[in-house]
Amino acid sequence: MAKVIEINDPGDPRLDDFRDLSTADRRPDRPGGRGLVIAEGVVVVERLLASPYPVRGLLGVRRRIEALDLSDLDVPAYVTSAEVMASVVGFHLNRGVLAAADRAPAVPLEDLADRSTRLAVLEGVGDHENLGSIFRNAAALGVDGVVLGPGCSDPLYRRSVRVSMGHVLRVPFAIADEWPAALNMLRHKGFTVAALTPRPSAPHLADANLRGRRVAVLLGSEGPGLTEEAIEAADVAVRIPMSSGVDSLNVATAGAVAFYALL
Amino acid sequence: MAKVIEINDPGDPRLDDFRDLSTADRRPDRPGGRGLVIAEGVVVVERLLASPYPVRGLLGVRRRIEALDLSDLDVPAYVTSAEVMASVVGFHLNRGVLAAADRAPAVPLEDLADRSTRLAVLEGVGDHENLGSIFRNAAALGVDGVVLGPGCSDPLYRRSVRVSMGHVLRVPFAIADEWPAALNMLRHKGFTVAALTPRPSAPHLADANLRGRRVAVLLGSEGPGLTEEAIEAADVAVRIPMSSGVDSLNVATAGAVAFYALL
């Protein structure tokens, strides 16, 4: 059972995991290697508690702390006022509860491939909110895991965790260090790698019948899109039919349409 | 040709359309009836210039103002520094250019229905970013117009305009004052009204073959979803197949999947 401890001094060093979040958790040099994993709000905190990440502690107003099942936890749960929380965190937090956890080692890419039938593979997705949305969409639409290629940001950054509704803590991800060699590896493991592109020459998504196969959907960043080398390393390029003169969809939205259509 | 005027005094009353944007444009009592339409950044400003909204003026740093084609405009284009802009607007604006326009009368609902074959109909979409994203997705995926039912926020609010990438200025919208009677009116005009719901009893989206028909896709807010009366007034309810234990998709993302699958 978590130990509930009341704290009223915002300077108390026991609250340091939660201090100055708007700046501190951008720094990968914080304790825990690449920084702590921070969950905000009851739903996301519950997902952190159920995740493989080792929880270090919680901070919240009494009503929120009491809404959580802390029976299996052996960490402190600090209770304070909304004002003290805002002073510690550095901004007003209307979700009323936070949890901090250490990082866990990333899943090796080959292991993730072996136990997945549907993957999202990302290249250059540097926007934390897009990254979080992709994990949320992946969880909803039956994607087993996410592979992070070059140029992707940290999915465990606080804002990604929040936008994903905590699904970055549930959907396993792996880092692809070798690029685009990782795509060849996926092919050797039986995946069809389908690159999503706005190119007019690519066939429509609906015409690529990949159901029943192991599929890796390759998504690039919104602006520049996928690199030439990534598209060439894919088995097939497909596009979402779109009105002319309109910018492409947001990468997370395009990904959701592709997950729906291909998987 | 727009008249380019250099201004270096942030207090100059000629800049009042752009003053204190973070608070002022939430107020419907501003000049222009329901407030001004504000576009931010070159791409969105270009869409405002091409829209039916009567442009009142521009404000930007020289480089951004010079990037625009202002030959058809007869309004002032104020050039200043990034610092003066930030002081006028109330926050740092890294897009470097703004345009302000008056509102135009909304399109009557029946007129919009008569000239559309594919509509998105929204109930209770109060989040400005979701609203903007829905317009962006509608533009990309071939939706002709958007109908705003009860509980929707103002699509011309600055943040919606920005998130939509300016597509709220291109995709026509109408207000449905009679609800759910508006859905019956759409049916009488030959539309099949398809309500998107997470209910497990609803048939899968893929099984509803509505291609070739006039379709109105009915979308509700993320939390409570569509009201019972709206679902009952629809011709058919459909759902996106989703993994169990996962929250539903964001309303804009769900809409994109539905536009793709149904239209």
Yes or no, beta carbons of A253 and B133 under 8 Å apart: yes
pLDDT tens-digit map of A33-64:
448 999 999 999 999 999 999 999 999 999 99
DSSP string, B210-250: -TTSEEEEEEE-TTT-S-HHHHHHSSEEEB----TTSPPPP
Residue B150 has pLDDT above 80, yes or no: yes
Yes or no: say if B135 and B146 are a contact pair by the CB < 8 Å rule: yes
Query: Is there a single domain that holds both residue B129 and residue B48?
Result: no
Lowest mean pLDDT among A63-72, B143-152, B240-249: B240-249
| Bridge pairing between strands A145-148 and A118-123 | parallel
pLDDT at B24: 58
Residue A129 has pLDDT above 70, yes or no: yes
- Which stretches does DSSP call E strand in chain A? 3-6, 37-40, 55-60, 76-79, 97-101, 118-123, 145-148, 173-175, 191-196, 214-220, 236-238
Sign (positive or negative) of CA dihedral A58, B245, B198, A262:
positive
For residues A168 and A45, give the distance between their C-alpha atoms in angstroms, rounded to a whole number: 12
Query: Is there a single domain that holds both residue A80 and residue A152?
Result: no
Query: Is there a single domain that holds both residue B130 and residue B207?
Result: yes
pLDDT at A33: 46
* Residue range(s) defining the domain that contains residue A231: 109-262
For residue A246, which residues of chain B lie inside 8 Å, CB to CB? 139-140, 167
For residue B136, which residues of chain A lie inside 8 Å, CB to CB? 247, 249-250
Per-residue tokens: B122: 């929204």
For residues A261 and A100, give the distance between their C-alpha atoms in angstroms, rounded to a whole number: 37
CATH number at residue A125: 3.40.1280.10
Query: Is there a single domain that holds both residue B133 and residue B237?
Result: yes
Query: Is there a single domain that holds both residue A125 and residue A176?
Result: yes
For residue B253, which residues of chain A lie inside 8 Å, CB to CB? 133, 137, 252-253, 256
pLDDT at A27: 52
| Bridge pairing between strands A97-101 and A55-60 | antiparallel
In this prediction, residue B27 has a pLDDT band, given cuts at 50, 70 and 90, of: low
- Put simply, whether B224 touches A (Cβ < 8 Å) is no
Which residue, A51, A74, A101, sits at the end of a domain?
A101
Query: Is there a single domain that holds both residue A35 and residue A92?
Result: yes
In this prediction, residue B26 has a pLDDT band, given cuts at 50, 70 and 90, of: low
- Put simply, whether B248 touches A (Cβ < 8 Å) is yes
Per-residue tokens: A52: 């493989």
In sequence order, the β-bridge partners of residue B127 are none
Strongest mean pLDDT among A11-15, A20-24, B198-202: A11-15
Residue A25 has pLDDT above 80, yes or no: no
Query: Is there a single domain that holds both residue B132 and residue B232?
Result: yes
Cis, bond preceding A180 (omega within 30 deg of 0): yes
ipTM of this complex > 0.95? no
CATH number at residue B47: 3.30.1330.30
Which residue, A81, A101, A121, sits at the end of a domain?
A101
Lowest mean pLDDT among B10-24, B153-167, B224-238: B10-24
Query: Is there a single domain that holds both residue B140 and residue B158?
Result: yes
B208: closest CA of chain A, how far (Å): 14
Number of domains in chain B: 2
The residue type at B154 = D
Query: Is there a single domain that holds both residue B177 and residue B227?
Result: yes
Yes or no, beta carbons of A141 and B243 under 8 Å apart: yes
Residue B201 has pLDDT above 50, yes or no: yes
CA distances A40 to A85, A97, B23, Å, are: 12, 6, 27
pLDDT tens-digit map of A144-154:
999 999 999 99
Query: Is there a single domain that holds both residue A11 and residue A91?
Result: yes
Lowest mean pLDDT among A159-173, B103-117, B197-211: B197-211
pLDDT at B55: 96
Nearest one of B59, B39, B43, B57 to B2, comparing CA atoms: B57
- Considering only CB atoms, A243 lies closest to which of B142, B241, B246, namely B142
For residue A260, which residues of chain B lie inside 8 Å, CB to CB? 240, 257, 260-261
CA distances A153 to A148, A255, B121, Å, are: 8, 17, 35
Nearest one of A149, A150, A124 to A223, comparing CA atoms: A124
pLDDT tens-digit map of A190-233:
999 999 998 888 999 888 878 788 999 999 987 778 999 999 99
For residues B80 and B93, give the distance between their C-alpha atoms in angstroms, rounded to a whole number: 13
- Which stretches does DSSP call E strand in chain B? 3-6, 37-40, 55-60, 76-79, 97-101, 118-123, 145-148, 173-175, 191-196, 214-220, 236-238
Owner of token pair 């299996």: A72
- Considering only CB atoms, B243 lies closest to which of A140, A241, A243, namely A140
Query: Is there a single domain that holds both residue A69 and residue A13?
Result: yes
SS3 B74: coil
In this prediction, residue A26 has a pLDDT band, given cuts at 50, 70 and 90, of: low
Residue A30 has pLDDT above 60, yes or no: no
In sequence order, the β-bridge partners of residue A59 are A78, A98
In this prediction, residue B32 has a pLDDT band, given cuts at 50, 70 and 90, of: very low
- pLDDT above 90: percentage of residues in chain B: 77
Sign (positive or negative) of CA dihedral B20, B22, B24, B25:
positive
- pLDDT above 90: percentage of residues in chain A: 77
Which residue, A84, A101, A118, sits at the end of a domain?
A101
What contacts B102, CB < 8 A, 6 or more positions away? B32, B33, B36, B37, B53, B54, B56
pLDDT tens-digit map of B203-231:
998 888 787 889 999 999 877 789 999 99
In sequence order, the β-bridge partners of residue A145 are A119
Residue A122 has pLDDT above 60, yes or no: yes
| Mean residue pLDDT across chain A | 91
- Put simply, whether A209 touches B (Cβ < 8 Å) is no
B119: closest CA of chain A, how far (Å): 15
For an interface test with B, give the residue of A162, A164, A240, A249 to mutate (most B CBs within 10 A). Answer: A249
pLDDT at A242: 87
| Mean residue pLDDT across chain B | 91
Query: Is there a single domain that holds both residue A256 and residue A127?
Result: yes
For residue A240, which residues of chain B lie inside 8 Å, CB to CB? 140-141, 260
For residues A168 and A104, give the distance between their C-alpha atoms in angstroms, rounded to a whole number: 13
B246: closest CA of chain A, how far (Å): 6
